[in-house]
Amino acid sequence: MNFELKPIGLVGASTEKCDALVLLVPQDFKAGKDDLSELVGQALKSADLEAKPGKLLSLYKPAQAHATRVVLAGAGSGSARDVRAAVVAAVAAVKSPSLKKLLVCFAAPAQEAAVRAAVMAVADASYAYTHTKSKPEGRTLSKVLVGASNATEVQTTFDRAVATVVGAEMAKEWANRPANHATPTLLAQAAQELAKLSKISCEVLGPKEVAKLGMGAFMAVAQGSDQPLRFIVLKYSGAAKSQAPTVLVGKGITFDCGGISIKPAPEMDEMKFDMSGAASVLGVFRSLAALKPAINVVGLIPACENLINGQAVKPGDVVTSMSGQTIEILNTDAEGRLVLCDALTYAERFKPTAVVDVATLTGACVIALGGVRSGLFASQDALGNALFAAGETAQDLCWRMPLDDDYAEGLKTGFADVANVGGRAGGSITAAKFLQRFTEKFPWAHLDIAGTAWKSGAAKGATGRPVGLLVEYLMAQAQNK
């Protein structure tokens, strides 16, 4: 799907030949003298159209436009939130096999955040998963024009949004694939494909290399599966080698049954999404290849399955992590933190400016924040504030959670240096406190995306989050260099 930004208003929109025109009408709309403006003005005056977000008036081949279908969509205040609601509703109204070319036009000068929201919303509303369908009904929409009278002012934001879409859709694709189509080996191959793009390189470590590194926690999780683990190292080199990188760590549990601490059967199929952190790291690198910022980024993905066989780790087993710290595994379903802790130790060799890990880590975070905001934990306020601000800008929201030392009390054990769980209370925080033990040598943040990485029910599928947040954060870091 190709996006293009055009410097047009209502007059230009009326002459554009396309399958559908979505006209975003704000609540302070002022009609001009052209035919399309007068049509909008009349619709508002008669109350056939309301400017509230998501309110629509659909027309078929109106004389005032060259588009086959025209949807007048209320855009409220013109904010990112209101524009997203308008675009999602409008695309749903015009979505059909015949929709190949779409024009989304702002009826008034567009805010930068609204342009970003419009691009992301068109992509989300038209996305279709097809990989494992025998008769796929994929996306027919191939060309999207975004019209804004102030196009020059919002071009940079538009370009970033388009690049973010590419990355988010890669993340969606891999997170949506079932576990037998997204094994650790296949995930590593996807990373190696990224290395064909500009400025990206990839190294994949197997069981022997991981054992040599002493990643005992990672290996303990993987030993219950017949699928060999993979440790993926991606590098984006956009700056001088002397410039310290930002490291992204993505949890890559390609399927999680919980191990011997097995999960309940209902909705266990959704544990294919447990590698959404890894998928988001892949997506970010795809976006970086398009944007080419002057920054260095490393992506680390510990990928394996958490299953049960005769070799599977048992509750009460003690393993030694790459850092040398011993861990008593009280619950084998708290495996994400075990693979991440070794990846965090590995990150030390890059002497990073910051490390951000991304993981579908705890059900407790879903209880705390639901599906609206990801949980954000940060060891330094500057890093936490930067990630929070990036999420607000990208409308990929997060919320800062505490890291008080008192929360680590539950991780104490008499049989190892630390236990891998600390009880039900504050579960997302104790998980973060566990990870923090392995981050003393760099600024660190943790994004718990268990509630935001996918949707359940009729709309079941990956969201592509937090690719938008991470891309915005990295671009801000590049601009501040």
For the annotated catalytic residues, the residue numbers are 263, 337
Q: Taking Cα atoms as reference points, which of 317, 321, 322, 172 lies closest to residue 259?
A: 317
Task: State how far the Cα of 474 lies from the Cα of 468, in Å rounded to an integer.
Answer: 10
How many CB atoms are closer than 10 A to CB 144? 24
DSSP character string of 312-343: ---TTEEEE-TTS-EEEES-TT--HHHHHHHH
Residue identified by tokens 């036009």 is 105
Token readout for 176 is 């949506």
Burial of 61 (0-12, 13-18, 19+ CB in 10 A): exposed
76: left (phi over 0), alpha (psi -120 to 50) or beta: left
CA atoms lying within 13 Å on the CB side of residue 377: 24
Q: Which pair of tokens denotes residue 430?
A: 């104790």
CA distance 251 to 214: 18
CB burial of 408-430 (b: ≥16 within 10 Å; e: otherwise) equals bebbebeebbbbbbbeeebbbbb
Q: Are strands 143-147 and 101-106 parallel, antiparallel or unpaired?
A: parallel
Strand duo 143-147 + 2-6: pairing: parallel
Per-position DSSP letters for 66-80, written without gaps between them: SSSEEEEEE-TT--H
**Helix (H) / strand (E) containing 211:** helix 207-213
- DSSP secondary structure of 358-398: EE---HHHHHHHTTTSEEEEESSHHHHHHHHHHHHHHT--E
Distances (CA, A) of 297 to 7, 198, 382: 34, 13, 19
d(C-alpha 144, C-alpha 219), whole Å:
46
In sequence order, which residues have a C-beta less than 8 Å from that of residue 112 and are 6 or more positions away? 153, 154, 157
Evaluate whether 354 touches 246 at the Cβ level (below 8 Å).
yes
Residue keyed to tokens 């030390």: 348
